[in-house]
Amino acid sequence: MKRMGIYNKLVRDIRTRAKSDKKRIIFSDADNFKVLKAVEVVRSQKIADPILLGDTAKIKAIASENNLNISDLQIIDNKAPEQAEKRVEYADLLYQKRQRKGLNIEEARYQMLDRNYFGIMMVEAGEADGFIGGFSNKYADTIRPALQIAGTNNTLNHIAGMYIVMTKKGPYFFADTTVNYQPSGRTLADTTLLTINEVKKYNIDPVVAMVSYSNFGSTKNGSPKRVRSAVEYLHENYPDLVVDGEMQANYAFNAELRSKRFPFSKLGNKEVNTVIFPSLSSGNIAYKMMHELGQVEIIGPILLGIRKPIHVLQQQCSVREIVDMAAITVVDAQTKKDKIIEL
C-alpha cells in the first residue's frame, strides 16, 4: 500500500541515520517478550547498542524459550545485590538534586529500586546515551523521574509530547498529545517551537497550523484566544517560521480552500505537515481517532523538551513500534544538546 511505502521511507531514513552513529540505549521492562524481540531486531539491524534493564533470570528464560539472541548484551537488574553500591551512588546523586524539593536520602535510596529512576540515572551519569521505558507502566511514571533527574533543556522548563501520524499523503506531526492539559498561549507557543525543532531533525521543513474551533478571530474567547495569543507571540518573535492560526482543521488540511478564504494567511498555499492542538484532549482524541478509523500508522509518543534522550512507549505496544522508538531515541542522542535552548 502507498501509505506503507511512505511509512517505510520515513522509518528507513530514521533507522539509517541511527546506524550512522550507534548509541547505548537502555531498554527498561526488558523481562518482557515484546521488548526482548525488539531488542533482537535493534541489535541485528545495528540501530543501537542495547542495555537490558530487568530481572536477569527472567530475561534469560524468555530469550531461551523464544530462541532470541541476546548473547553478550549487558543485563542490569537494579534490584540485585550486586547493584547495591550503584544504587547508593545514584541515590546520593538524586538526593543532591532533590534535597531542597522534599526528598530525603532514604526516599532517594528507595527510588533506586524503581527501574525508571535507576535507568534514567544511568543516562544522567553518562553510563548510557538514552532510555526507553513505559511498556508496562503509566506514562507519568516515566516522565516524573525524567523531569526530576534530567530536567528540561529550555528556559521555561517546558515539555510536550508529539506523534508522527503516517498517512497516504505523507507524515504529519501532532503536538501536544500527551502532556499539557489546558496550555496557556505562551505554553502553546513553546510547544510549537519544541515541535519545529523536532520536525527539522527528520529533514522536513515544518509548515505549522495552530488549530481550534474558529478561524482568525471569529471567536474571541476560549481556546481560540489562547491559540491567537500564541500565534501573535510567534509572529513577533520568530517571523521566519511558517506558522499561522487559529484555524479550523479543514482549513489546516485543505490548502486550496484556505488560500481562497484566507489569502492573508502566512501559510499561503503550502501543505501543512505540523499541527498544534489547543489542549491535550483535542490532540489525544485526534490522533487516536485517526489511528482507529483512518488506516494510518503512528510513531510515538516522542517526548520533547527533556534534557536527555528519554522516551516513553505506549503500554503494550508492538515490536515494530519499540524498534521505531529505539531509532528515534538514537537520533535524539545524536542531536540532543545538553544545554538550555532559548525559547
Examine residue 14 and state whether it is found in any structural domain, yes or no: no
At which residue does the C-alpha cell 550503584 appear?
86
Contact present, 153 and 181 (Cβ < 8 Å) = no
CA distances from 222 to 113, 185, 214, 231, 340 (A): 44, 11, 10, 15, 32
| Residue 149 burial (C-beta neighbours within 10 Å; 0-12, 13-18, 19+) | buried
The answer to whether the CB of 300 falls within 8 A of the CB of 164 is yes
Residue 182 sits in a domain of what CATH number?
3.40.50.10750
- Structure confidence at residue 156 (pLDDT): 77
Q: How far apart are CA 219 and CA 223, in angstroms?
A: 9
pLDDT of residue 45: 95
How confident is residue 263, by pLDDT bands cut at 50, 70 and 90?
very high
**Is the omega angle on the peptide bond into residue 183 within 30 degrees of 0, that is, cis?**
no
Give the residue-averaged pLDDT of 58-76.
Answer: 94
Residue 212 falls inside a structural domain: yes
Q: Are residues 204 and 276 in the same domain?
A: yes
Tens digit of each residue's pLDDT (9 = 90 or more) over 218-240: 887 888 999 999 999 999 999 99
What pLDDT does residue 8 have? 72
pLDDT of residue 321: 92
pLDDT category of residue 161 using cuts at 50, 70 and 90: very high
* Domains contained in the chain, number: 2
63 and 163 housed in the same domain: no
Looking at the structure, tell me whether residues 197 and 270 fall in a common domain: yes
**Residue 154 parent element (H or E):** none
Over 80: is that where the pLDDT of 1 sits? no
Q: Are residues 238 and 169 in the same domain?
A: yes
**pLDDT above 60: residue 6:** no
pLDDT tens for residues 307-326? 999 999 988 889 999 999 99
Question: Is there a domain that residue 10 lies in?
Answer: no
**Does the residue 162 lie in any domain?**
yes
- Residue whose entry in the numeric block shows the C-alpha cell 478571530: 217
Q: Cα separation of 213 and 95, whole Å?
A: 46
Q: Which residue has the cell 524498534?
A: 323
Check whether residue 160 and residue 295 sit in a common domain: yes
**pLDDT per position as a tens digit, 95-129:** 999 999 999 999 999 999 999 999 999 999 999 99
The per-residue pLDDT for 337 is: 67
Residues 190, 342: contact at Cβ < 8 Å? no
In this prediction, residue 342 carries a pLDDT of 65
| 161 and 288 share one domain | yes
| Whether residue 181 sits in one domain with residue 139 | no
Contact 187, 197 (CB under 8 A): no
List, in order, residues 6 or more apart from 167 with CB less than 8 Å away: 3, 6, 290, 294, 296
For residues 315 and 255, membership in a common domain is answered with no
269 and 165 belong to one structural domain: yes
Q: Are 321 and 300 in contact (CB under 8 A)?
A: no
The model's pLDDT over 25-37, given as tens digits with 9 standing for 90+, comes to 999 999 999 999 9
pLDDT number for residue 109? 97
Domain assignment present for residue 216? The answer is yes
The share of the chain scoring above pLDDT 90, in percent, equals 79
Q: Residue 327 is part of a domain; what is its CATH number?
A: 3.40.50.10950
- Per-chain mean pLDDT for the chain: 92
- Give yes or no: residues 324 and 276 share one domain: no
Is 173 in a helix, a strand, or coil?
Answer: strand
| 160 plus 294 within the same structural domain | yes
| Minimum mean pLDDT range among 76-90, 235-249, 326-340 | 326-340
* Per-residue confidence (pLDDT) for residue 7, from 0 to 100: 59
Q: Please check the confidence at residue 4 and state whether its pLDDT lies above 60.
A: no
**Mean pLDDT value across residues 42-47:** 96
The band of 2, judged by pLDDT with boundaries at 50, 70 and 90, is: very low
The more confident residue out of 6 and 312 is 312
Q: pLDDT confidence of 294, banded at 50, 70, 90?
A: confident
SS3 246: strand
52 located within any domain? yes
Q: What local confidence, expressed as pLDDT, does residue 238 receive?
A: 96
Does the pLDDT at position 339 exceed 80? no
Is the pLDDT reported for residue 133 higher than 80? yes
Residue 316 has a pLDDT of 80
Asked whether residue 223 is assigned to any structural domain, the reply reads yes
Domain membership flag for residue 298: yes
30 & 141 share domain: yes
List the domain range (segments joined by +) for residue 99. Answer: 21-151+307-337
- Asked if residue 69 has pLDDT above 60, the reply is yes
Q: Comparing 16-25, 110-119, 294-303, 305-314, which segment has the lowest mean pLDDT?
A: 294-303
